Homo-oligomer: A and B are copies of this chain.
């Protein structure tokens, strides 16, 4: 039986794609070596720089975000290099596993999954590394599994205080274009991101922004690479071209997305996400439930992970909301599997959509017999209006 009305895709990415972008993606493919393509390519490469806030290089891969994680590492490091990572949650853990798989020696500062990376611990760790064997510090900006945000500018200062030359790499796959981000100002060497979150595109594109220091590292880095190699891209990119066939139609969408973000204004986009995060947390509190992120000031505007009361399955709850209210919520991952569900409130989103989303959760809690107070939606509305 057909379900009427719009599905609410409220996982923390992919976010629902706006019609303008779907329409852009549906335009006819053109010759990726022809003169018209150069305009598309340059617009994409230059447009992305305004989003990463960088005047350095941005690289676009026809690939998922996982590919851009790999690209960041293989372009700059050599087998056996030590890499410092911070356990903010599931995705930080996956990035560490990937590093290990590539032959790096990845070291974790453990975390409790309830906040962002801790600059002080990073500083302390680096301070121990007198011989500068650690070649990179890798931090997840917006940890999609927990809804916590790492203070990237502070981590940069911590590295500087430790006087450590390690490259600074940040995954803002789910943060970019939703949360304030400043590749250059914050002194990030490699930023990793993807298309299907704040950029409002379908999945299929991912990105590296790379500082001059990172590009220099590329020249000596010995990890095996070909598809991901920045060195092959720099030349063709200058004229808007790519060393292999780019994902043309997704680039159309990317260009539309960058326009849309600037039409709203990046600061407005960030404020909107912050406001929605606050309203979502007000709802969670009103329900008498707990937000996974327990570190004040580090709660994400992109998603809110919510702990269910003991003895209740978050996945059963999610199945109920999907069936009854046609809304997709994010699941709990690894350590918090079945214990939390995640509400995505990112991308092309507004107040009424947030209320609808929270109503789906509140009515779902009732439907699934999860103990809770009513009034979450009302609390969010009070916050919004």
**Contact surface of A with B, Cβ cutoff 8 Å:** 1-9, 11, 13-14, 16-19, 22-23, 25-35, 61-67, 70, 74, 98, 101-103, 194, 196, 202-204, 223-227, 229, 243-250, 260, 263-265, 268-269, 272, 322, 324-328, 331, 348-353, 355-357, 359-360, 362-363, 366-367, 374-375, 377-378, 381-382, 384-385
Contact = CB atoms under 8 A, between A and B. Distances in A.
19 contacts: A1-B264, A1-B268, A9-B31, A14-B31, A17-B28, A19-B27, A23-B27, A25-B249, A62-B62, A62-B64, A194-B245, A247-B250, A325-B350, A325-B352, A326-B352, A352-B356, A352-B357, A355-B355, A363-B384
Contacts of A6: 6, 18, 348, 350, 353
Copies of this chain assembled into the complex? 4
A202 B4 contact: no
A328 B70 contact: no
Contacts of A7: 28, 30
B22 A349 contact: no
B352 A202 contact: no
Given A64-B244, A70-B226, A352 B348 contact: no
B362 A249 contact: no
B248 A202 contact: yes
A91 to B, nearest CB: 11
Contact of A64 (B1, B246, B355): B246
B204 A265 contact: no
A67 B204 CA distance: 13
B64 A245 contact: yes
B245 A33 contact: no
A28 B359 CA distance: 22
Contacts of A356: 352-353, 355-356, 359
A348 to B, nearest CB: 5
Contacts of A63: 61-63, 67, 227
B5 A29 contact: no
B62 A224 contact: no
Contact of A4 (B11, B62, B264, B327): B264
Contacts of A11: 31, 33
A28 B8 contact: no
A28 B33 contact: no
A263 B98 CA distance: 42
A104 to B, nearest CB: 10
A34 B326 CA distance: 12
Contacts of A64: 62, 227, 244-247
A63 B378 CA distance: 44
B226 A101 contact: yes
Contacts of A61: 63
